[in-house]
A = this chain, B = another copy of it.
């Protein structure tokens, strides 16, 4: 029995599951919830693919991210120990972000997800068109 199965098939109404992303109250779910969003994942992928980058490089690299969300996501990743933020006290200021070992581990799992999406995007778009054609609009 795997982790999920023990945690989920059982009828025990235990509130404090220790290692179950499926359990609403589990710390791992909390972590999962804040890592599993597009900006955090793209940032990890960018740092993994292109190495250490400064704030503005990341902003250019991750197309469409706002300064606000970039700051927020980076702070989050830093706080959780995935990313290292280094400030060089020059003028104009220079701030460089890099993966820490924990972040590198995760990035290596996330990268395939990105590549898969790139490979399969066309196929998924085709499926969408087919679906939309089959379900004109006001069905169901």
Contacting residues of chain A (1-25) with chain B, CB-CB under 8 angstroms: 2-5, 8-9, 19-25
Dominant secondary structure at the A interface: helix
Using C-beta atoms within 8 Å of the partner chain, give the interface range for chain A: 35 or more
In the assembly, how many copies of this chain are there? Answer: 2
Contact with B along A90-125 (1 / 0, CB 8 A): 000000000000100110011011111111111111
A124→B4 CA distance, assembly (Å): 21
CB–CB A49/B2 < 8 A: yes
| Cα–Cα distance between A137 and B123 once the two chains are bound (Å) | 47
CB neighbours (8 Å) of A114 from chain B are: 21, 32
Q: Is the CB of B61 within 8 A of A22?
A: yes
Chain A positions 21-52 with a Cβ under 8 Å from a chain B Cβ: 21-33, 35-38, 41-42, 45-46, 49-50
Known: A23-B63, A128-B79, A128-B80. A38 touches B38 (CB 8 A): no
Q: In the complex, A78 Cα to B109 Cα: how many Å?
A: 24
